[in-house]
Structure 1
Amino acid sequence: MRLNKKYLIPSLLILTLISLIFAYNFLFDNSSKNIKTNLPESKSGFFLGTYVDINLYDNSSEKIFTESFNILEDIESKMSINIDTSEVSNINKNAGTSALKVSPETFFVIRKGLYYSSLSKGHFDISIGSLVKLWGIGSEHAKVPSREEIQKSKNTINYKNILLDEKNQTVKLANKGMIIDLGGIAKGYAADKISAFLKSKQIKSAIINLGGNVYALGSKPNGSTWGIGIQDPFEPRGKHFGIIHVKNKSIVTSGIYERFLEKDGKKYHHILSPFTGYPVETSLVSVTIIADNSIDADGLSTTIFSLGLNDGKKLVESLNGIDAIFVNNKKEVYVTSGLKNNFLITDNYFILNDN
């Protein structure tokens, strides 16, 4: 397949990510004299409702980019609720009536979504689609719904009513009006699929960015770890307040600072509570999850944000290979134990709290 305009959309995200990585490498890395200053081979496109940037630092070719975008297009065609013919859309159309056989990929992501729905005790719930559509935050149809509309939508939300048949690979929504929305986890799955594909092509240094869902593949070309900037939730995209060092890790942030609706002087962010039907109320403004697999980081970022600082931090500490960075509305920063020696605040307006 030849790359078309969909895969070549200019994006501020790619400039942001590259500038954060290279600015840090140049200013702070003691081995900066050995850093290659040439930029990676990069392509960008629009999939799963967000800009996607793939940046390859070795063995890049047009074919690798093409095949990578083919993978993303396939995932989108199966899992997007914005594509009327997708498998997830067909599941939703059959809500309350019949089970639908789906591909192994869609079945896997839904099962993983149910795992995190259960782990969070419903704070993260992939059956929240009707509520997401009702608010429409981030779209031109955004509105503050009436209490009656919210209550009606809440009645359709319950991940326990998503019925899986492992043997036959079918999915059924028990009640009419239910809508699965994999927007909180599908990008993570896509990042993992791309990283696995790149590894199969012997790519050793790459950055994959799906709308801020970042996977740092391998290490930098000089062998050192990637220095990844953590977005300042109080500033426009592109300004970071801290740095972590990683390799073969996913970094995913959920926050209230980009997608929101403002009405009568009040802001309503896009992270909705299945319990209240309204945006989650917490002192947190962002949560960043660091994990080996992007699907885990993606599912956990919303989960942990919704749980709040104390319960969220407790849950992360109970999970192997998972770490988190919390920022509250007072610019206080909390990190889990695995990041105590791997997180540097670069903006003095933020305070690292040791508790």
Structure 2
Amino acid sequence: MIFSSKNKKFKIIAISIVLAITLSACSKKVTKPVEPISSTEFLMGTVCTIKIYDKSSTKVLDSAFKRIREIEDKMSINKEASEVIDINNAAGEKPIKISDGTVEVLKEGLKFAGLTGGKMDITVGPLVKLWGIGTDAARVPSKGEIQEKKALINYKNLILDEKNKTAFLKNKGMIIDLGAIAKGYTADEVSKVLKDNGVEHAIINLGGNVFAMGKNITGTPWKIGIQDPFTQRGDIIGMIQVENKSIVTSGIYERYFEKDGKKYHHILSTSTGYPCDNSIAGVSIVSEKSIDGDALSTSVFSLGLEDGMKFINTMPGVEGIFITKDKQVYTTTGLKDKFKITNAEFTLKN
């Protein structure tokens, strides 16, 4: 993920999870579709949209977007200054004092790095910067460059002192990149802001990190469309019904560039130093906390279909939808009756 310092409103565009909200179901309390209050801004390098279906004021939306900007200001590595930039600049030299939020995200990042054996490693920054995927500087690095940057990636060399609220990278040249986890944390924080302001029914969409608060205003589950990983037009392959859940998708369609007829996507393998190359085209994680889904969507993409399915099936309260390059769809056990294919080009295998 590449955070951006831009802060301006955009029209709704196609995003990596397509929201399909059905509000026409029968209800004694609701006789017609409810028009939400909504706002969209470009933050954290993506289009962020919040829709509130309760009676509420725009001040609540303002508070929610203020929280997003606060997190971006602390955790981005693509602004002029941030706490994470300070940690990176002091790599190999000294610990840096950080805020509670940054402590929490680094702690979670280290936890998932340990759980996945480094498949999801928040010190992947040297590789991310080297490839530059999603920027005008995107290129295919030499094998020598890749090996040099790979040597800097090791989450065990990030020392987090929770008591004193400091973080220290042991080796000069190391770079923390929170792109695989920060949006999830942000979605969770935005949901807290909304709840604190009495909101019960809302959709938070941070460029594909979707958090469905409560139920649909009609009292039925939200219906969320899962993005077709082979298009960028907002097409979907199926629908999932959820309430109070996060849905996070990672896929080969999100950011990539082409060189000599080959596509290079942004999900990098910490083992090879190249974009992950396996049978998966897209993966969606359904969880109670968006920070979990964000970290796991990257992790299981790197693990591949079989190992990824096994891994998610060991995680309490977490489910997954895996789409392969041959348009086969696999789901973990808990989604058997909650996910339906709507696109005839895809086949549900389990």
TM-score of the superposed pair, with normalisation by structure 1: 0.93
- 5+ residue gaps, structure 2, are 1-5
Is 1:178 the equivalent of 2:174? Answer: yes
Distance 2:144 2:46 in 1: 31
Residue in 2 aligned with 1:46?
42
Is 1:108 the equivalent of 2:104? Answer: yes
Distance 1:159 1:196 in 2: 29
Kept in 2: contact 1:84–1:90 (CA 8 A)? no
Is 1:243 the equivalent of 2:236? Answer: no
Is 1:335 the equivalent of 2:336? Answer: no
Q: Tell me how many residue pairs correspond in the alignment.
A: 345
The Cα offsets for residues 183-237 of structure 1, whole Å up to 9 and x where unpaired, read as 1100000000000110111111100000011000011111111011111111224
TM-superposed CA distance for 1:153, in Å, is 0.8
Residue identity opposite 2:11 in structure 1:
P
Give the secondary structure class of the aligned counterpart of 1:334. Answer: strand
Kept in 2: contact 1:36–1:221 (CA 8 A)? no
TM-superposed CA distance for 1:167, in Å, is 1.5
Distance 1:251 1:213 in 2: 6
**Higher helix proportion:** 1
Kept in 1: contact 2:18–2:236 (CA 8 A)? no
Is 1:319 the equivalent of 2:332? Answer: no
Q: Which runs of 4+ in 1 moved over 4 A?
A: 13-18, 29-35
The aligned runs of 1:149-160 (5 Å cut-off) are 149-160=145-156
Residue in 1 aligned with 2:190?
194
Is 1:233 the equivalent of 2:229? Answer: yes
Distance 1:161 1:307 in 2: 22
Residue in 1 aligned with 2:140?
144
Provide the identity percentage.
Answer: 51
Residue in 2 aligned with 1:8?
9
Alpha-carbon spacing, 1:62–1:34, altered in 2? closer, same or farther (3 Å): closer
Give the secondary structure class of the aligned counterpart of 2:7. Answer: helix
Distance 1:7 1:201 in 2: 24
Distance 1:153 1:7 in 2: 34
Distance 1:127 1:297 in 2: 19
Distance 1:33 1:309 in 2: 44
Distance 2:329 2:277 in 1: 18
Residue identity opposite 2:21 in structure 1:
I
TM-superposed CA distance for 1:59, in Å, is 2.4
Alpha-carbon spacing, 1:219–1:7, altered in 2? closer, same or farther (3 Å): farther
Is 1:83 the equivalent of 2:79? Answer: yes
Distance 2:182 2:114 in 1: 17
Residue in 2 aligned with 1:304?
300
Alpha-carbon spacing, 1:192–1:122, altered in 2? closer, same or farther (3 Å): same
The Cα offsets for residues 317-354 of structure 1, whole Å up to 9 and x where unpaired, read as 10100000001011111000000111110111111112
Residue in 2 aligned with 1:214?
210
Kept in 2: contact 1:157–1:274 (CA 8 A)? yes
Residue in 2 aligned with 1:223?
219
TM-superposed CA distance for 1:181, in Å, is 0.3
Using CA pairs under 8 Å that are at least 6 residues apart, name the structure with larger relative contact order, 1 or 2: 2
TM-superposed CA distance for 1:61, in Å, is 1.2
TM-superposed CA distance for 1:11, in Å, is 2.5
Alpha-carbon spacing, 1:315–1:14, altered in 2? closer, same or farther (3 Å): closer
The aligned runs of 1:8-47 (5 Å cut-off) are 8-13=9-14, 17=18, 20-22=20-22, 36-47=32-43
- 5+ residue gaps, structure 1, are none
TM-superposed CA distance for 1:91, in Å, is 0.1
Residue identity opposite 1:242 in structure 2:
G
The Cα offsets for residues 112-168 of structure 1, whole Å up to 9 and x where unpaired, read as 001111111011100000100111111111111111111111111000100111211
Kept in 2: contact 1:136–1:142 (CA 8 A)? yes
Residue in 1 aligned with 2:52?
56
Residue in 1 aligned with 2:3?
none
Distance 1:169 1:214 in 2: 30
The Cα offsets for residues 76-101 of structure 1, whole Å up to 9 and x where unpaired, read as 00000012310000000000010011
TM-superposed CA distance for 1:9, in Å, is 2.1
Is 1:127 the equivalent of 2:123? Answer: yes
Distance 1:351 1:35 in 2: 36
